[in-house]
A and B are shown apart, each in its own frame.
Chain A
Amino acid sequence: MLPVAVLVYDALTGGLGANPLQRAEQQTGLLALALLLLSLACTPARLMAARFGQRLLWPARVRKTLGLGAALYAALHLGIYLLDRGAAPLQFLQDALKRPYITVGLLAFVLLIPLVLTSRKDSVRRLGFARWQALHRLSYVVAALAALHFWWSVKKDHTPPLMAAVVLAALLALRALKKPAR
């Protein structure tokens, strides 16, 4: 929540610069992606630690908070985008269909919704672990779509979206350690 406070403070004091809506849009988008990647790092962190004989419990505990944080910032990001465009709903739908980077970003957001809805304590029990786990693998799809959305939205310097994609690929690769570790 701290970044929200900082964002509001910056907005009120002019700290967001000459184009505050755009800056806020970029910052919330970046935070959403960063939190999502962090939430995806929890399981690999636990698995890595297990390889070295350490049993870490905290990654599993913070994972949900990080994931929900990502969803919150994604919602703020979309909200600011709509505000920036003047929120004409019809035009937004047109834009979403016409411009791949918006289509992809919107799809990532929509796919986050079932994950948020099944983040309650009893969700795992109600769905059954296997189904819950399968559903939450969607988070990788969301992160991949978000990285692509980031890549397409950048005018020239593709280093930051590339970094996000590399981190995502590394996290996926680390998960492969799971099986040999058993």
Chain B
Amino acid sequence: EFAARTYRGPYDTTEPASRMADITGYNNYYEFGTDKADPARHAGALRTRPWTVTIDGLVRKPQTVDIDRLQGQFPLEDRLYRMRCVEGWSLVIPWLGFPLAALLRRVEPTSAARYVKFTALADPKQMPGVRSPILNWPYTEGLRLDEAMHPLTLMAVGLDGRILPNQNGAPLRLVVPWKYGFKNIKAVVRITLTAQQPATTWSRAAPDEYGFYANVNPAVDHPRWSQATERRIGELGRRKTLPFNGYGAQVAGLYKGMDLRRYF
């Protein structure tokens, strides 16, 4: 629908993309249920148009924009990224979207802005999972401003050249490929620039298990399981998990001098 699918840019992996049936059928999206098949089953009913996104907080130009206008403002790019779930599995996903940096530049963060907070839709009428208090709804996530401005950080609106399926976070979702998948908040309705580190859903749910940074790190285990290996969906054996999910050359500098065991 949108664009030619080309994945030969500097940010694309050369690994083969995962099967589309796996990308759209094996999802963690607790707003639609905790089973991996629940999102594909229940997300179809979500109305993604009309949809507005509010960008506010420490910015000079706060605004509420219609999703179609928003995605029309930036050239869309194909990005073939690895996605590593904190549960120990991974996929290679052909996203389509625009860099978050482009959006942030447009709203002009003030010098006080240091973090970006994301808020997802939480509508119990459309999202059966939101009716049970499994997590603190709405789902919120956050990035440090320099992480948000990194060229790898993408706001995805499409998948494999087509409009994003609902179970993958339509109409707008975050993609930060060097962090565990739960950072990639779906169905974003608000982006807020803040001075303080925002509370995030999973770190509130289990602070000893899920940190704010959540960088993929084979050396720091989840308290209950190892993060040293992962199953690439579609493969029978397990592969070694790479630091920063293999994006260390691009992003390790963001964390220079930080103790990544403490800031997990």
Contact = CB atoms under 8 A, between A and B. Distances in A.
Interface of A: 17-19, 21-22, 84-86, 95, 99-101, 152-153, 155-157
Interface of B: 21-22, 25-26, 30, 34, 36-37, 87, 89, 134-135, 205-206, 224-226, 229, 231, 233-234, 236-238
A23 to B, nearest CB: 9
B30 A18 contact: no
The 10 closest A-B pairs by CB, nearest first: A18-B26, A18-B22, A157-B34, A18-B233, A157-B134, A156-B134, A101-B224, A19-B89, A86-B238, A19-B233
B34 to A, nearest CB: 4
Given A86-B237, A95-B226, A152-B224, A19 B26 contact: yes
A64 to B, nearest CB: 34
Contacts of B22: 18
20 contacts: A17-B25, A17-B26, A17-B36, A18-B21, A18-B22, A18-B36, A18-B233, A19-B36, A19-B89, A21-B236, A22-B89, A85-B238, A86-B237, A86-B238, A95-B226, A153-B224, A156-B30, A156-B134, A156-B135, A156-B206
B80 to A, nearest CB: 19
B224 A17 contact: no
Contacts of A153: 224
A142 to B, nearest CB: 21
A156 B89 CA distance: 17
A156 B224 contact: no
The secondary-structure label for the interface of chain B is loop
Contacts of B231: 19, 21-22, 84
A21 B30 CA distance: 22
B226 A156 contact: no
A48 B229 CA distance: 50
A153 B89 CA distance: 15
Contacts of A99: 224-226
Contacts of A22: 89, 231
A86 B234 CA distance: 16
A99 B225 CA distance: 7
B25 A18 contact: yes
Contacts of A84: 231, 238
Contacts of B37: 17
A152 B22 CA distance: 27
A59 B21 CA distance: 45
Given A18-B26, A19-B89, A101-B224, A156 B205 contact: yes
Nearest to B23: A18
Nearest to B234: A18
The CB with the most chain B CB atoms within 10 A, among A22, A153, A156, is that of A156
Given A18-B21, A99-B224, 15 more contacts: A17-B36, A18-B22, A18-B26, A18-B36, A19-B36, A19-B233, A21-B236, A84-B231, A84-B238, A86-B229, A86-B237, A153-B224, A155-B87, A156-B34, A157-B134
